[in-house]
Chains A and B, each alone.
Chain A
Amino acid sequence: MSHPQQIIPHGHVLRYTLRERLVHWIAGVSYVYLLGTGLAFWSPWLFWLAAALGGAQVSRTLHSWAGLIFVGAVWYMYVMWAPQMKHTDDDRRWWKALKYYSTNQDEKMPPAGRYNAGQKFLFWGFFWCSLLLLLSGVFLWAPQYFAWHSLLAMRIAVLVHASAALFTIGLFMIHLYMGIFAERGAFGSVIRGDVSIAFAKRYHPTWYKEIVGESSSPRK
């Protein structure tokens, strides 16, 4: 991008570029709309959500289009981040130490790169679920355009759509919890782009070493 370098406050480092933040929020806003309308269709007890999100018919129509926007954003993230989301040996150690992570004993965690193993799981979970949601969703949107359409295929698609959506809801809840409540500074980083050096060192030490040019640690 040709915009001037973002000004990072003293004691902070850039974690997310403008492009990364924009794509994140395109996905985020569209996902919240999809979640609200989807839950309205999931349970009669939440059908009022559809009324709040534009009315039942509008919710159903916009659900499909919001889905396309969401999948588009996820695809862009895939192109942008997939190389950084590769599974490493550190990730395996990270999963084994999950109990320390979940009980806030972060000093016992193996060092994480730009993304820790949990974040990678979130990314791939959303990626594959989005693919399933796209396939089942587009098919249910207009089954008559698919030569192979059948009642059986529609019945399976309904189940796939609901199951994949439920899985993303689980991921989404944990994502929100980690980003807003557990890792203080993470929410600001996806708005303003920067994190404090302490944040970088605490949660992503390997990444921090990479961006400061290994100056504070010997080369491997």
Chain B
Amino acid sequence: MSQATLRVQKISGHAGSIPGQDTQREYTVCKFIDTTTCIGCKACEVACVEWNDLPFSETVFDNTYQTMPETRWNYWNLILFNEHEREDGSLLWLMRKNQCMHCAEPGCLAACPADGAIVQYTNGIVDFQQANCIGCGYCITGCPFDIPKMNPKTHRVFKCTLCTDRVSEGLEPACIKSCPTGCLHFGTKDDMKELAESRAKQLRDHSNFPNAGVYDPPGVGGTGVIYVLHDASNPEIYGGLPKNPHVPWSVKLWKGPLKWLGNVAMIGGLVGLFVHYLRYGPKAREEEDLAIKPGGGRT
């Protein structure tokens, strides 16, 4: 789903320079989701499926509002409903719109071995290019939010594109446009951060949510989707939103020390064997063997 007007600043599995890096003056875009004013209407879910022409996905009924347990390859935007009892016994009914967080340092992109299957545009959007995807599923292991999902039939991975096609034309993402309460906002990262901070302050000062705050986790370099939470000190209660997400240790280990060690060992091994051969040569020469009489006695 690449867009000609969007330039690329990071590419997965890519050797050499990156065409769009440092070539564009562009704002980083950001979705701001105010969980405190979300009413769980799922208009954003429908708008996402509609705009992206995704095939319908079967729903699950378990006597809750949660008609789907998790995002799917064809369901990129899902409100997670959670009931949380506070210390004073009062109940919080939490609704969080879950989707790709568009990390500034995407773990999926770091883990992906396929050249150009995952890109990050200069405006910060992380986008999967299914044409280049090889279906290895390594991006799934790289995501701290468990977002990318594989299409079992085509073996390509899909997720929220942050409506690259709309954003590149100057429109807001479909989910933002559909929100009836105004809990979803879209703009530059700086503007959204400011708006979110002022909303969090309002909640702290006037609405008896002393722990209200903005979720913009630094472990992944900040995200292109930020939340205001009633209780920012405990994001896990919002359907397992990780408190301190970061690129998984396995990806760091693999793309860091293991890769370094492996490359040194392989290249060192080749050089070492070559030098060994130059120094010692073959153990014996076949010409000598051919001169040996039947029965094994040397001539």
B254 in contact with A181 (CB, 8 Å): no
Q: Which residues of A (142-168) have their CB < 8 Å from a CB of B? A: 143-144, 151, 154-156, 158-159, 162-163, 166
Q: Which of B34-42, B55-63, B283-291 contacts A (4 or more CB under 8 A)?
A: B283-291
- Give the residue of A140, A156, A162, A203 whose beta carbon is less than 8 angstroms from that of B136: A140
- B270-299 interface bits toward A, Cβ cutoff 8 Å, 1 = contact, 0 = none: 100100110011111110111011111010
* Contacts A56-B134, A158-B250, A198-B288; A44 near B258 (Cβ below 8 A): no
B292 nearest in chain A by CB position: A198
Assess whether B262 is interfacial by the CB under 8 Å rule: yes
- Hey, which chain B residues are within 8 Å of A40, CB to CB? 113
A47 in contact with B115 (CB, 8 Å): yes
- Hey, which chain A residues are within 8 Å of B15, CB to CB? 43-45, 47
CA distance A102 to B259 in the complex (A): 28
- Hey, which chain A residues are within 8 Å of B298, CB to CB? 198
Q: Which of B25-33, B138-146, B192-200 contacts A (4 or more CB under 8 A)?
A: B138-146
Assess whether A199 is interfacial by the CB under 8 Å rule: yes
B258 in contact with A162 (CB, 8 Å): yes
A151 in contact with B285 (CB, 8 Å): no
CA distance A181 to B132 in the complex (A): 40
B283 in contact with A182 (CB, 8 Å): yes
A159 in contact with B273 (CB, 8 Å): no
* Contacts A57-B135, A166-B262, A198-B296; A154 near B141 (Cβ below 8 A): yes
- Hey, which chain A residues are within 8 Å of B111, CB to CB? 158
Assess whether A131 is interfacial by the CB under 8 Å rule: no
Q: Which of A21-29, A78-86, A90-98, A170-178 contacts B (4 or more CB under 8 A)?
A: A170-178
Assess whether B253 is interfacial by the CB under 8 Å rule: yes
- Size band of the interface chain A makes with B: 35 or more
Assess whether B152 is interfacial by the CB under 8 Å rule: yes
Assess whether A60 is interfacial by the CB under 8 Å rule: yes
A198 in contact with B141 (CB, 8 Å): no
- A179-210 interface bits toward B, Cβ cutoff 8 Å, 1 = contact, 0 = none: 00111110000000000111101110000000
- Hey, which chain A residues are within 8 Å of B47, CB to CB? none
Known: A158-B141, A201-B296. 11 other contacts (CB 8 A): A11-B290, A42-B259, A47-B114, A102-B276, A104-B283, A154-B137, A154-B141, A158-B254, A163-B258, A177-B273, A197-B292
Assess whether B91 is interfacial by the CB under 8 Å rule: no
CA distance A198 to B248 in the complex (A): 56
- Hey, which chain A residues are within 8 Å of B258, CB to CB? 159, 162-163, 166
Assess whether B263 is interfacial by the CB under 8 Å rule: yes
A59 in contact with B137 (CB, 8 Å): no
A159 in contact with B250 (CB, 8 Å): yes
A59 nearest in chain B by CB position: B134
Assess whether B265 is interfacial by the CB under 8 Å rule: yes
- Size band of the interface chain B makes with A: 35 or more
A-B contact pairs, 26 of them (CB 8 A): A40-B113, A42-B262, A43-B15, A44-B115, A45-B15, A57-B134, A59-B134, A60-B134, A102-B280, A104-B280, A151-B146, A151-B248, A158-B254, A159-B250, A162-B258, A166-B262, A166-B265, A170-B266, A173-B266, A177-B276, A182-B282, A182-B283, A183-B284, A197-B294, A202-B284, A203-B283
Q: Which residues of B (221-272) have their CB < 8 Å from a CB of A? A: 248-251, 253-254, 258-259, 262-263, 265-266, 269-270
* Contacts A155-B141, A156-B250; A183 near B134 (Cβ below 8 A): no
Q: Which residues of B (100-150) have their CB < 8 Å from a CB of A? A: 111, 113-115, 132, 134-138, 140-141, 146
A42 in contact with B113 (CB, 8 Å): yes
A185 in contact with B137 (CB, 8 Å): no
Most B C-beta atoms less than 10 A away, residue of A47, A61, A144, A203? A47
Most B C-beta atoms less than 10 A away, residue of A11, A44, A170, A181? A44
- Hey, which chain B residues are within 8 Å of A170, CB to CB? 265-266, 269
- Hey, which chain A residues are within 8 Å of B251, CB to CB? 155
- Hey, which chain A residues are within 8 Å of B263, CB to CB? 43
- A36-66 interface bits toward B, Cβ cutoff 8 Å, 1 = contact, 0 = none: 0000111111010010000011011100000
CA distance A140 to B254 in the complex (A): 16
B293 nearest in chain A by CB position: A11
Most B C-beta atoms less than 10 A away, residue of A104, A154, A198? A198
Assess whether B217 is interfacial by the CB under 8 Å rule: no
B132 in contact with A154 (CB, 8 Å): no
CA distance A198 to B283 in the complex (A): 12
Assess whether B166 is interfacial by the CB under 8 Å rule: no
B134 in contact with A173 (CB, 8 Å): no
CA distance A151 to B282 in the complex (A): 49
